[in-house]
């Protein structure tokens, strides 16, 4: 069974006129993180020229993080809203979509839910957006939240504690 290459050539074959040059674009589309190699052959039969080209592609997880990476909402009274803010920072060269998992908004031990705004959106390339967390307690006590945020191209969700 033939394996498909993760690399594609924009001009797999063509004719090149004398004293001219040609730009050839290779596209790398990985399915998983890792380092990938592919051998290609440049051939000019009229000149008996054969040249091997080795392509190397490195795929990594997108670089995103919360700043700060945890948030402690101030103590408040029952029925009084408490708010906090973090930034979702995108250090990549491309915009990335994100979605907050609504099932992660509840405290495991407290039975309360934290509100997150926005619940989904796009973090622009080389930029950050504010994420606001709000809590209006309906009972006394304290709780911990582990808000999970799925990000485009990221295998595992980010967690904000």
Could you report the per-residue pLDDT of 32-86, keeping only the tens digit for each? 888 999 888 888 888 888 999 899 999 888 999 999 988 988 878 888 999 999 9
CATH code of 64-160, in short, is: 2.60.40.10
| Separation of alpha carbons 35 and 133, rounded Å | 38
Where along the chain do the CATH 2.60.40.10 domains lie?
64-160
- Predicted local confidence at residue 4, as pLDDT: 63
Model pTM score: 0.74
103: helix, coil or strand?
helix
**Is 139 exposed, middle or buried, given 0-12, 13-18 or 19+ CB atoms closer than 10 A?**
exposed
Q: How far is CA 147 from CA 38, 88, 133, in A?
A: 40, 13, 10
Q: Please report, for the chain, how many H helices and E strands are present, in that order.
A: 0, 12
Mean pLDDT of the chain: 88
- Predicted local confidence at residue 117, as pLDDT: 97
């Amino acid at each position: 069974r033939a394996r498909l290459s993760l690399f594609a050539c924009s001009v797999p074959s063509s004719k090149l006129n004398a004293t001219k040059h040609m730009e050839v674009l290779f596209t790398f589309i990985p399915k998983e993180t890792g380092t990938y190699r592919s051998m290609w052959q440049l051939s000019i039969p009229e000149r008996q020229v054969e040249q091997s080209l080795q392509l190397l592609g490195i795929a990594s997880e997108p670089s995103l993080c919360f700043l700060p990476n945890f948030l402690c909402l101030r103590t408040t009274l029952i029925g009084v809203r408490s708010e906090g803010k973090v930034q979702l920072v995108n250090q990549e060269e491309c915009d990335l979509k994100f979605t907050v998992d609504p099932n992660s908004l509840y405290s495991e031990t407290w039975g309360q839910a934290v509100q997150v705004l926005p619940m989904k959106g796009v973090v622009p390339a080389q930029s950050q957006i504010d994420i606001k967390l709000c809590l209006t307690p309906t009972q006394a006590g304290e709780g911990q939240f582990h808000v999970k945020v799925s990000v485009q191209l990221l295998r595992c969700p980010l967690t904000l504690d």
